[in-house]
């Protein structure tokens, strides 16, 4: 498995246990992490990004363990994290912020600047390269974050609720981008929305209160119920069956 959680324990304030002896392996190029609010999805992604440290167990990407100091830089270059709120940096243009993301991951300034142009073109923001980063829309801000990850050639991009708050047009643009990314980079997206699973993702993980309720292919997830007509309805019914919650 490319991303592995082994015996992971994580607590907030040493009192609230979010994950306890948690095991999970993910190797699919396109995985959706489903679960209700409070399921532990954001915590799991933050641990995978090495932004949080487990109090027990290990998190590895392709056998790199960020807990080992010699692996930390390589791990963070390979694994990019897009939290739900991406903050534009005052005074920087879109291209400058994307290049800055590459520099933060260890690239020299010239290489980061050169790579930022092709990364912006890939996410459809080439024409906005000189616009101030705080002047772009929410959907464009998410794509700018992805461009930063592409600048330093991430192997895995973690996205926390990337379509939350986007209008239908922005969501469509973002879904198209996700389809294209799956060709050469691993993507894990956390959400509580079940639409378009069959079109976007190969693998489904359902998390509820720190426990994996389901892990398998999108087809296996849809097959959990045969009482609904279309793929969206079947996904909603399967999700509600697993977590006892309507979507």
Beta-carbon contacts of 196 under 8 Å, excluding residues fewer than 6 positions away, are 175, 232
**In the chain, what percentage of residues exceed pLDDT 70?**
97
Q: Rounded CA gap, 134 and 140, in Å?
A: 10
Specify the pLDDT at position 247: 44
226 burial (CB, 10 Å; 0-12 / 13-18 / 19+) is exposed
Between 41 and 1, the more confident residue is: 41
Residue 102 has pLDDT above 90, yes or no: yes
Between 151 and 84, the more confident residue is: 151
Residue 179 has pLDDT above 70, yes or no: yes
Of 19, 24, 84, nearest to 52 (Cα)? 19
Mean pLDDT, rounded, for 8-34: 91
User: Sorting pLDDT into bands at 50, 70 and 90, what band is 17?
Assistant: confident
Specify the pLDDT at position 215: 96
Q: Tell me: the pLDDT tens digits for 151-170?
A: 999 999 999 988 877 888 88
State the chain's mean pLDDT as an integer.
Answer: 89
Between 15 and 51, the more confident residue is: 51
């Amino acid at each position: 498995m490319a991303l592995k959680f082994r015996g992971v324990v994580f607590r907030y304030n040493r009192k609230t246990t979010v994950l306890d002896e948690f095991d999970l392996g993910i190797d699919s190029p396109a995985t959706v992490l489903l679960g209700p609010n409070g399921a532990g999805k954001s915590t799991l992604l933050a641990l995978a990004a090495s932004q949080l440290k487990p109090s027990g167990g290990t998190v590895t990407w392709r056998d790199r363990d960020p807990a080992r100091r010699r692996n930390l830089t390589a791990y963070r270059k390979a694994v990019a994290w897009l939290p739900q709120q991406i903050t534009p940096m005052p005074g920087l243009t879109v291209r400058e912020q994307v290049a800055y993301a590459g520099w933060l991951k260890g690239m020299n300034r010239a290489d980061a600047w050169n790579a930022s142009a092709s990364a912006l073109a890939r996410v459809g923001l080439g024409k906005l390269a000189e616009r101030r980063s705080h002047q772009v829309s929410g959907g464009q801000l998410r794509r700018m974050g992805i461009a930063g990850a592409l600048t330093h050639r991430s192997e895995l991009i973690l996205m926390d609720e990337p379509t939350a708050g986007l209008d239908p047009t922005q969501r469509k643009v973002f879904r198209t981008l996700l389809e294209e990314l799956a060709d050469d980079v691993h993507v894990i997206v956390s959400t509580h929305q079940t639409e378009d699973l069959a079109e976007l993702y190969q693998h489904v993980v359902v998390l509820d209160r720190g426990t994996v309720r389901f892990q398998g292919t999108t087809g296996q997830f849809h097959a959990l119920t045969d009482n609904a007509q279309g793929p969206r309805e079947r996904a909603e019914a399967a999700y509600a069956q697993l977590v006892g919650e309507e979507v």
